[in-house]
Structure 1
Amino acid sequence: MKKISLLLVLFIVFVACKPAQKTENEKFTVVTTTTMITDLVKVLGGDAIEVKGIMGAGVDPHLYKASEGDVTKLSQADLIIYNGLHLEGKLVDVFEKMNQMGKQTLALGDFLSHEQIINSEAFASSHDPHIWFSINNWKSITELLVNELIKKDPENTAIYTKNGTAYVKQLRALKDEMEAKIAELPIEKRILVTAHDAFSYFGKEFDFEVVGLQGLSTATEAGVKDVQRISDYIIKNKVKAIFVESSVPKRTVEALQASVNSKGQKVIIGGELFSDALGNPTEETGKYIGMFKYNVNTIVDALK
């Protein structure tokens, strides 16, 4: 019933509130879902476009439901950009309805080749949607998104081209810096235990074994058996630290820590990582590059 009501609201808002032809001074408007995408589009468009993100810091996209205010933003956008691969599981119907109405949408997951995406039967799309945790993926997405923005908003071609070229250079430098930092950590200590399995792309790119309590989606709860199994794994592999996430409740990781400690081995909570959302937009962790640096420094310093 709620789904039907939402789509009805969507239709009404789209028909009733569809903006008139833009005036000469109005900016190209892009509505984005996750904070990672909002940051990327702002970097590429600068002040030339208007970017409206519907999710904020600490928001879990797996469980996010669109409000009527979000639907209004989406209906009035010139372009909607979302992650895809069922990351925004509760919004799939909204995007499908938008497409049926002729609204322009882009799913960044569609930009990547089969080889660039990690397969997983544990998720609705059969793919791991956390594609931003590969810097190589994010660089590819940046380059392809520049081309798409130019097609849809040719008036700002020079801006998208200039900003995209500069950002790709920053991402290359980020990759080099992260590799140097991670090299401080012996390969046998590169075991990352977190609240949910959001870091497989990170693990693949930087040779980490990744273990998540809740699997790929936070829509599934970790049970007692999961806690026991992973606590045994931590003891066997002498893992020094485990990590909570900014967009996931801490209780399961705290239960895991208690389970390990009750068996005579100490494990610390090494810090809070940013997984499905960036940090406060006024801080460095509110940007993709700042978030990545913070996460890697937190992981390496806790596990060394």
Structure 2
Amino acid sequence: MKKYIYILFLVSIVTSCTTATKKQNGKLQIVTTTTMITDMVKNIGGDVVEVKGLMGSGVDPHLYKASEGDVSKLFNADVIIYNGLHLEGKLEDVFEKMRKQQKQTIAVANAIDKSGLIGSEYFASSYDPHIWFHIGYWKQATQFVIDELKKIDAKNAATFEKNGQVYLAKLDTLAAEISDEITVLPIEKRILVTAHDAFNYFGKLHNFEVVGLQGLSTATEAGVQDVQKLATFIIENNVKAIFVESSVPKRTIEALQASVKASGHEVAIGGTLYSDALGDAGTKEGTYVGMYRYNVKTIVEALK
């Protein structure tokens, strides 16, 4: 019932909004959801688009609900770009409403062949949506957005292509650097324990065993048995460090650390990783490339 009332509330806002969309500067108005997508689109669009991101640093997209202001931004956008695969689960009804309004929408996950996705029972899509942690997949998503924007705004197609290729080159450089850095970590030490399973694509790419306390979605709560079971796993596998996530309360990882200690063992908190959101705007970690470098350095230093 609460969900139904919430949807009606959003619909009433949408239908009451004005239809004036573009500003006087004539730039394509793009609204993005997560910080990773916002960073990508800003790199591709450069000065010829105006990008407004709904979510900021530390925001959990699994639990994010659109405000009245957000719905207004979405309605007045020329293009909406989101992750898809039900990452932004509480916004799905809004996206559906936008599509019915003939709004241009781009789901970046549509760039990835389903055969390469990791299955998940936690999402209505049946797939793990955390695709940005596989650099190869993020490159595919980037090229997909480049191509879609070229179709939507043909007069700026050359700019999107040029900017996009620069960004793709940065991702190639990142992939090479990260591969070299992770090589120093022996396979038997590549066990990544975090607050929730956001890093399975990272594990797939870099040969890590990934274990999350809350599962794939932070909408699920970790119980006492989950904590005890994972504590046993940490002890049996002699895991040196576990990690907090910037968009997930750290109390669950602290409870896990306490459970390990209660069993007569020690495990360090190796640092805070950026999972479902980038760092603060204006910092290195506030970009996709900077976030990925920071995460890998933090993981390798704590586990080696």
Partner residue in 2 for 1:231: 231
Instruction: For 1:259 and 1:4, locate their aligned partners in 2 and report how far apart those are by CA, in whole Å.
Output: 40
Partner residue in 1 for 2:257: 257
> Letter of the aligned partner of 2:191 in structure 1?
I
Gaps of 5+ in 2: none
| Range with bigger deviation, 188-197 or 101-110 | 101-110
> Letter of the aligned partner of 2:56 in structure 1?
G
Q: Kindly indicate whether residue 113 of structure 2 is the aligned counterpart of residue 130 of structure 1.
A: no
Partner residue in 1 for 2:103: 103
Partner residue in 2 for 1:199: 199
1:13 and 1:228, CA in 2 relative to 1: closer, same or farther beyond 3 A?
closer
1:233 and 1:278, CA in 2 relative to 1: closer, same or farther beyond 3 A?
same
* Aligned residues of 1:7 and 1:97 also touching (Cα < 8 A): no
Partner residue in 2 for 1:268: 268
The offset of 1:2, in angstroms, is 5.0
> Letter of the aligned partner of 1:102 in structure 2?
Q
Instruction: For 1:24 and 1:219, locate their aligned partners in 2 and report how far apart those are by CA, in whole Å.
Output: 41
> Letter of the aligned partner of 2:147 in structure 1?
N
Per-residue CA deviations over 1:240-288 (Å, capped at 9, x if unaligned) read 0000000000111001101111112110000000000001011010000
For 2:242, what is the secondary structure of its paired residue?
strand
Partner residue in 2 for 1:119: 119
Partner residue in 1 for 2:80: 80
Aligned length, in residue pairs: 304
Instruction: For 1:109 and 1:64, locate their aligned partners in 2 and report how far apart those are by CA, in whole Å.
Output: 19
| Range with bigger deviation, 240-249 or 161-170 | 161-170
* Aligned residues of 1:60 and 1:248 also touching (Cα < 8 A): yes
TM-score normalised by structure 1 residue count:
0.96
Partner residue in 1 for 2:152: 152
1:177 and 1:13, CA in 2 relative to 1: closer, same or farther beyond 3 A?
same
For 1:298, what is the secondary structure of its paired residue?
helix
Instruction: For 1:214 and 1:297, locate their aligned partners in 2 and report how far apart those are by CA, in whole Å.
Output: 24
1:285 and 1:97, CA in 2 relative to 1: closer, same or farther beyond 3 A?
same
Determine what percentage of the aligned residue pairs are the same residue.
Answer: 62
1:21 and 1:278, CA in 2 relative to 1: closer, same or farther beyond 3 A?
closer
> Letter of the aligned partner of 1:120 in structure 2?
S
Instruction: For 2:235 and 2:118, locate their aligned partners in 1 and report how far apart those are by CA, in whole Å.
Output: 28
For 2:269, what is the secondary structure of its paired residue?
strand
The offset of 1:124, in angstroms, is 2.6
> Letter of the aligned partner of 1:174 in structure 2?
L
> Letter of the aligned partner of 2:50 in structure 1?
E
CA RMSD of aligned residues (A): 1.5
TM-score normalised by structure 2 residue count:
0.96
Q: Kindly indicate whether residue 188 of structure 2 is the aligned counterpart of residue 188 of structure 1.
A: yes
Partner residue in 1 for 2:41: 41
Partner residue in 2 for 1:170: 170
Instruction: For 1:193 and 1:9, locate their aligned partners in 2 and report how far apart those are by CA, in whole Å.
Output: 39
Map 1:261-300 to 2 at 5 A. 261-300=261-300
Gaps of 5+ in 1: none
1:188 and 1:154, CA in 2 relative to 1: closer, same or farther beyond 3 A?
same
Instruction: For 1:296 and 1:201, locate their aligned partners in 2 and report how far apart those are by CA, in whole Å.
Output: 14
1:46 and 1:162, CA in 2 relative to 1: closer, same or farther beyond 3 A?
same
1:21 and 1:59, CA in 2 relative to 1: closer, same or farther beyond 3 A?
closer
| Range with bigger deviation, 120-129 or 237-246 | 120-129
> Letter of the aligned partner of 2:290 in structure 1?
G
| Range with bigger deviation, 81-90 or 8-17 | 8-17
For 1:52, what is the secondary structure of its paired residue?
strand
The offset of 1:22, in angstroms, is 4.4
